[in-house]
Amino acid sequence: MRKLALALVGAFTVMGFVACAASSRNAAEDLADGGGPSGGGEGGVSTGGEGGTFSQDGAVDSPFGGCAKGTYAAKVIPAAMLFVLDKSGTMGNGGKWASAQQAIVQAEDQPTFDTMAIGLLGYPTISVSGPACIFGLPVTCGVTGLPQVPIKLAGTAKSSDASGVRRDIYQWLSTNSPAPSNGDGNPTYDALKSGIGALKGFSMSPGAKRIMVYVTAGGASCASVSAPSRPGYLDGNNCADWEYPDSIVTLLKNAHADPTAPVNTMIVGVAGADTHGENKNVPPYAVRLALSAYAAAGSPETIDPACTGKVFTNVKTDPTVACHYDMTTSLTPAVLAAAIGSMRGKLLGCTFDLPDPGTAGTIDKNKVNVDSTTDPLKGVEHLKKRKDASDPCTTDGCWDYKGEKVELIGKACEDVKKSTTAKVEIVVGCLTIVK
């Protein structure tokens, strides 16, 4: 039995291969009409392997083998991810910028990003005239309207290659940095607004995912010089410059609720994003609570259900359980890269279309099985179909039909969403194994 395996993370559709015929489509075509690259993915075409070893009498040491009529590899849903990176003065302290640089490169070079479009917007970018309260002196509150690294399909070219969007991001990160002369302007609202606009303007098929990953080291400012200006809390210069968090909550909530091009916003707070209004040089509220509320508004389906910071209030108390990625005390390149790698997985579901058998006829739903590989060291797990629809399959994982689709249940779904190298395949032709 020949198999086509596609390394993936997150939500999936299913690409059928009758008699393991490979598609001639390219990644750009797939992105445009709703699929990821077809074909063998990382694994390519192989023989035998996960299908089991045949004995002379036709028996196999695997639940599947000679009875299999075809194996169908899961395929990643198209997605675009834009990194929105705070490069205000505070990011230059304590190794935060270096960690962010390394983490983004480590994350984007993961094979699971091959099928994604990615880009980067760093801010602030320029100085603008300040408000009257500081006599119009220049402040670093300007934000570019376009990403410095435009959103493009990543493909297989890595950051070390001569060209490609990963290389472009690497180059930008290596040649840009925050500096004390930048001051500490943090025009978060305008940066997120620009990021949302870039993602909405990127042409994608219906159902594709648009993801904004916002990494910041402090509270939002520059409300008084934004165009149009917005009300804000007083800062150390007696300017109403600290952004009202509710303004950002509304921005992200509306972007997420957009009926035609919704954007999910993931929030990462690094050291500096943990103040509590200690003085007028920091926002007069708990920044962790504000970031937590941003996460709940921007991507409510991916936050920890137990998080306690879903709603912002003007208090100086941290949420007991943050809704955002709080890395104010544990920032390392590896930890941040892992978080970025898992963000897509949290967005993506565990439901698959039944394969289209083409000229082979219809699929017998009593002869469908599911293979899952979430840890290469553990090998293939042959998931069983649950017998009782009320079984949550919390400890062992299973699958079931959801209309005309296959859905991973319980632990099986959680394992796939957490893995950065998951493979999911549907095997057709063998009697379904039931729990």
Question: What are the residue ranges of helices labelled H in 299-332?
Answer: none
What does each C-alpha distance from 370 to 373, 399, 406, 434 come to in angstroms?
Answer: 10, 8, 9, 11
Of the candidates 290, 286, 256, which has an alpha carbon nearest to the alpha carbon of residue 274? Answer: 286
Q: Which of 332, 347, 362 lies at the terminal end of a domain, its last residue?
A: 347
Say whether both 191 and 307 belong to one domain.
Answer: yes
Q: Which residue stretches of the chain have pLDDT < 70?
A: 1-65, 74-77, 179-184, 344-345, 348-349, 357-361, 420-421
Say whether both 214 and 321 belong to one domain.
Answer: yes
Say whether both 273 and 418 belong to one domain.
Answer: no
Residue 435 lies in a domain: no
Say whether both 6 and 135 belong to one domain.
Answer: no
Say whether both 147 and 184 belong to one domain.
Answer: yes
Q: Which pLDDT belongs to residue 184?
A: 62
Copy the structure tokens of residue 89: 């003065």
Residue 331 lies in a domain: yes
Residue 434 lies in a domain: no
Say whether both 334 and 261 belong to one domain.
Answer: yes
Structural domain count, the chain: 2
Task: Provide the domain limits for residue 365.
Answer: 2-76+348-428
Residue 30 lies in a domain: yes
Cα–Cα distance, 43 to 114 (Å, whole number) = 13
Residue 408 lies in a domain: yes
Of the candidates 42, 43, 39, 110, which has an alpha carbon nearest to the alpha carbon of residue 81? Answer: 110
Say whether both 55 and 89 belong to one domain.
Answer: no
Say whether both 72 and 83 belong to one domain.
Answer: no
Say whether both 68 and 99 belong to one domain.
Answer: no
Say whether both 10 and 142 belong to one domain.
Answer: no
Backbone φ and ψ for 355, nearest 5 degrees, come out as -60, 150
Amino acid at the residue 298: G
Full-model pTM: 0.73
pLDDT in tens, 312-330: 999 899 999 999 999 888 7
What torsion do the CA atoms of 110, 257, 290, 349 make, to the nearest 10 degrees? -40
Say whether both 233 and 114 belong to one domain.
Answer: yes
CB 77 within 8 A of CB 6: no
Q: Which of 316, 347, 378 lies at the terminal end of a domain, its last residue?
A: 347
Q: Which pLDDT belongs to residue 6?
A: 30
Q: Which of 347, 382, 405 lies at the terminal end of a domain, its last residue?
A: 347
pLDDT in tens, 356-386: 766 556 889 999 999 998 888 888 999 999 9
Residue 198 lies in a domain: yes
Say whether both 60 and 84 belong to one domain.
Answer: no
Q: Which pLDDT belongs to residue 431?
A: 93
DSSP of 181-194, one letter per residue? GGTT---HHHHHHH
Q: Which pLDDT belongs to residue 344?
A: 66
